[in-house]
Amino acid sequence: MTSNQSATAVFLCATLLAGGVALAREETRETRLPASYVEFEASGQATALMAIARRIYRETVGALAESPVEIPVKSERPAGPRDEPPPPEWPEGPTGVVLCLKMKDRVRACEGGRAPASPDLVAAISVLAERLPASGSRGKPRPLSAREQPAATLEAAFILRVEPITASAGKRVLPTGIDGATVGFVVSGAAGEVATLPGELRSIKAALKLARKAGVAGRRGVEPVVGWYAPVAIGSVPIVTP
């Protein structure tokens, strides 16, 4: 085999391998997620749900809706029931959900947890969006300034299952193979519950510190319950439409 033939063979093998890895990742994602959640995203319901969350959030802070998705298109004929798509529904049934306000990569506030705010999905996300501007989940609430708004986004995820964190040698640790930067935490205390998004915190210690800062840990000497979850992303949407 000549050097040119050898180089071509290596290139073809690398291309096939890269394609195989990409396909494996997609197949893994499809296998990991229940089909109903994959369909929820593919059907556009996730996008519609995030548009609703943004509209409710903006109304709560006194900003006018400005997204073309949220403003009906005018028509000379009367609007009918076929003009509006059906509202998003739970992919399988009511489950946990979290809605967060982010400034670039920093989480400003989150509302939600392992129990839905309503058995109706649109109502559940609307309740969380209404709570978000005054949320104390990351300490004292601080409204977005006009200068901050263009860099702010809303991000939401389903919480299908919260796994308990057990103690090992007197310390609470994540299971072997679970990276704290890739999962979310849910901390439940006597005064409430606080949830985080993946990447926000990297350790159980940081999650407990956040819970105390948010005021949900309860009285001193009583440790809250900490769990972790693998989120099912709903989506992200900018507060201000580009």
Q: Which two tokens stand for residue 148?
A: 């901050």
pLDDT in tens, 24-44: 333 334 447 789 999 999 999
Q: What is the pLDDT of residue 21?
A: 36
Query: Are 68 and 237 contacting, i.e. CB atoms less than 8 angstroms apart?
Result: no
Residue 211 pLDDT > 50:
yes
Share of residues in the chain with pLDDT > 90 (%) = 45
Q: Which two tokens stand for residue 206?
A: 């940081």
Predicted confidence band at 203 (pLDDT cuts at 50, 70, 90)? confident
Query: Are 57 and 241 contacting, i.e. CB atoms less than 8 angstroms apart?
Result: no
CA atoms within 13 A on the CB side of 62: 5
Q: Which two tokens stand for residue 219?
A: 């009285």
pTM assigned to the model: 0.77
